[in-house]
Amino acid sequence: MSKEKSKILIVDDNEELLIAFKFFLSKHFGQIDTIKNPNLIPEYLRKDAYDIILLDMNFSAGVNTGNEGIYWMKQIMEKDCNASVVLITAYGDVELAVNAMKEGAADFIQKSWDEKKILSTILSAYNLRLSKLKIQTLEQKQKHLSDKIDSEFNNIVGKSSSMKNVFQVIDKVAKTDANILILGENGTGKEVIAREIHRKSERANEVFVSVDIGSLQENLFESELFGHVKGSYTDAKEDRPGRFEIASGGSLFLDEIGNLTIPLQAKLLTAIQNKEVYRIGSNKAIPVDIRLICATNKNPDEMVEKGIFREDLLYRINTIKINLPPLRERDEYIILLANYFLKQYTEKYNKESLKFNSSILTKLKDYAWPGNVRELKHTIEKAVILCDGNTILSSHCWPDGEHSKKNTMVKSLNLDENEKVLIEKAIQKFKGNISSAAKELGINRSTLYKKMEKYGI
């Protein structure tokens, strides 16, 4: 919004001052309205949305407490919480104006005429108004987007029996401040679960900070997590808060915590235990209040046994453990997610008439998805881009035949299912030569024939 379209309301019982203000400000701003009687303020606010309200602090003769101005300022703020109210005060009433600013005023100007001071103060108030409106718009957009995502995501979860247990745990622990450890393979959606815990927590309106520990260089770990002061090392050009400080009041998500070296584990443990951090180059303790959520694709208990993960740190981060099963163990979830991603990407690429071929749904369920949810998401996006017709086929998902090459991955712990896959793979490898296939499998030819009969190969 340009200043030419801005609207200013001036409220003062001094008519000469109103005329002077209107003449001076009309050169810099758009609409300038003036009123002498503050009782008319509600009527003017009903008719128009003003960017700035210049408001006298006293209207009754002989009264100089400033209470009238504060009263009307509060009335204005009730009707428009983003209003920028600049108080007009007489010389000597600066203390009153400062107290009014504590109540919500944007700033004040004195009646002693100083055009530069008046203009700079009003411009600052105008920019404050624009910032408030921008923040409000962003918050509304974010809420709309979050509500939309939550609605669609919860609809998927609600239909997925394999994920109901996970979300039952989330519902129980989200309202607490218990530290949570999420375990699962790469791409299973560990950060999604962390964000869901934050969304359902008492800290939902505060910040969620995510840190990929695996991508941090060891020499930058302390700076990234705890911050640094200017000059503490060569590239420290200015003071900088770490992720712990930034996340204070909200949630801190440390992904791939299993990648931390023992020395860094000790530093992390100290920060968690003491609930305070020290910026590099400073001996001043900075208190932090975070909800800690960690994740790893490794087995932390095995790491403790091998001496590569501190047991005391594991106890600290592992108040509640959530195990995310790989996608290959969530058959019904695969189809739900595939349809969710299809809807997402058909909207993105303006191909909303697209649908899956009936046979591809079976292939989606049969595929092992070594990359889990992340791989499924990329596969559906690729299919939507490559499809020129109205129906997504297997060739769109796996244009180079990756499906046939990868679906031999172990999909469950059922011995019969995996034995059948291995036999088929061996026969395919030796192009139907049973003797060679049997030798590869470590069994004799007659045993292989019996197994082929058993599995209908």
The CATH number given to whatever domain includes residue 215 is 3.40.50.300
- Is 56 part of a structural domain of the chain? yes
CA angle 290, 168, 187 (to 5 degrees): 70
Listed range (350-354, 383-387, 428-432) with the worst mean pLDDT: 428-432
- pTM confidence score: 0.60
- Is 24 part of a structural domain of the chain? yes
Q: Is the pLDDT of residue 83 over 90?
A: no
Per-residue model confidence as pLDDT tens digits over 34-50: 998 899 999 998 888 88
**Neighbour order of strands in the sheet with 251-255:** 208-212, 251-255, 291-296, 180-183, 320-323
Same domain, 297 and 345: no
Angle, nearest 10°, between helix axes 415-429 and 445-455?
120
- Is 319 part of a structural domain of the chain? yes
**Regarding predicted confidence, which is higher, 76 or 137?**
76
Predicted local distance difference test score (pLDDT) of residue 159:
55
Predicted local distance difference test score (pLDDT) of residue 406:
45
CB burial of residue 2 (10 Å; 0-12, 13-18, 19+): exposed
Cβ atoms 184, 323 nearer than 8 A: yes
Q: Predicted confidence band at 404 (pLDDT cuts at 50, 70, 90)?
A: very low
Same domain, 176 and 315: yes
Same domain, 386 and 440: no
Q: Is the pLDDT of residue 189 over 90?
A: no
Per-residue model confidence as pLDDT tens digits over 142-188: 665 555 555 555 555 545 566 778 888 999 999 999 999 999 988 88
- Is 237 part of a structural domain of the chain? yes
Same domain, 28 and 56: yes
φ/ψ (deg, to 5) at 90:
-75, 160
Give me the residue label for tokens 């490559």: 386
φ/ψ (deg, to 5) at 254:
-105, 105
Predicted local distance difference test score (pLDDT) of residue 246:
93
In terms of residue numbers, what domain contains 419? Answer: 415-455
**Cα–Cα distance measured from residue 435 to residue 432, given in angstroms and rounded to the nearest whole number:** 9
Per-residue model confidence as pLDDT tens digits over 334-343: 888 899 899 9
Same domain, 302 and 339: no
**Regarding predicted confidence, which is higher, 5 or 215?**
215
Q: Predicted confidence band at 425 (pLDDT cuts at 50, 70, 90)?
A: confident
Give me the residue label for tokens 């989606």: 364
Q: How far is CA 385 from the centre of its chain?
A: 27
Per-residue model confidence as pLDDT tens digits over 393-402: 988 998 876 5
Predicted local distance difference test score (pLDDT) of residue 267:
94
Instruction: Output the domain CATH number for residue 353.
Output: 1.10.8.60
Predicted local distance difference test score (pLDDT) of residue 61:
62
Instruction: Output the domain CATH number for residue 445.
Output: 1.10.10
Q: What is the DSSP letter of 326?
A: P
Average pLDDT, the chain: 84
Same domain, 216 and 237: yes
Give me the residue label for tokens 């009687």: 37
